[in-house]
Structures are given as structure tokens and as C-alpha cells.
A = this chain, B = another copy of it.
Amino acid sequence: MRAAAIGRGMIEYADASPEVRAVFDDIKATRGVPDVNNFWKALAVHPPTLARTWESLKQVMAPGALDPMTKEMLYLAVSAAAGCQYCVASHTAAARAKGMTDAMHGELLAVIAMAAETNRLAEALRVPVDPQFQ
């Protein structure tokens, strides 16, 4: 375990252990980027969590029944619902890089906001689930 403090401490590639470098190298190769972003540098303070999180993310975000842009928009919707500023910033950028236009982004924002509104109303009114939705 490195001496670096966890939390706000970020591990740069030059200072990383071989174990961490291997993950960073895979992120860079998979994404075609020259450096990993801050999230991964921060997570590198706990190498097992870094490795596991990256393996899961790589698998989950790969093209499948849903295309990568749709997956990024879903990721952004959840991040906005959670109020995570870092996540909103990074996944807005990622969704745009995968093709999200201004118009798509605007509609995505409208859906997120509308869902938040009706979520609260349904909770506040304690609406019973309709038989056909069971």
C-alpha cells in the first residue's frame, strides 16, 4: 500500500506501481486517450478497487443491446439524479464524444427533471402499484 493519503490524493502514472500502471495502460488503450482522468488517479490509492471497478465498467459500457451513446446518457441521468458533480461533468463530456447533440442533451435534461418531479409526487401520494404493472 502506497503512503499516499486516500481522498484528494491522486496517483500519477509516473508514481504508480506496476499493478496500477497496468490498469492505467488498459484504460488508455481501450479509450484511445493519452492519460486517464482524475477519477482513476484518485481510485488508484486502493489498487484492488481500481482494478475491479475498471473491469466492471469496461464490460458494462461495451456495445451490446444498447449502443454506447445511449449507455452514456443513462449514466448521465443517474449521475444527475445523484447530484454527483464530477460524474455529471465527465459523463456529459463522454456522451457528447459519442454523439449526443445539444438537442438530445436538452431532451435528456427535460426527462431527468420530469422524472424527478413525478417520482416525488408518487412518493408523496403513496400511489399503490396498478395490477397491470405487477
Residues from chain B with a CB closer than 8 A to the CB of A86 are: 122-123, 127-129
Residues from chain B with a CB closer than 8 A to the CB of A89 are: 7, 126, 129-130, 133-134
Give the docked Cα–Cα distance between A56 and B59 (Å).
13
Establish whether residues B42 and A108, one from each chain, have CB atoms under 8 Å apart when the complex forms.
Answer: no
Residues from chain B with a CB closer than 8 A to the CB of A82 are: 81, 83, 115-116, 119
Give the docked Cα–Cα distance between A119 and B119 (Å).
13
Give the docked Cα–Cα distance between A3 and B133 (Å).
18
Residues of A with Cβ closer than 8 Å to B? 1-8, 10, 37-39, 42-43, 45-46, 48-49, 52-53, 56-57, 59-61, 64-66, 70-71, 73-93, 96, 101-130, 132-134
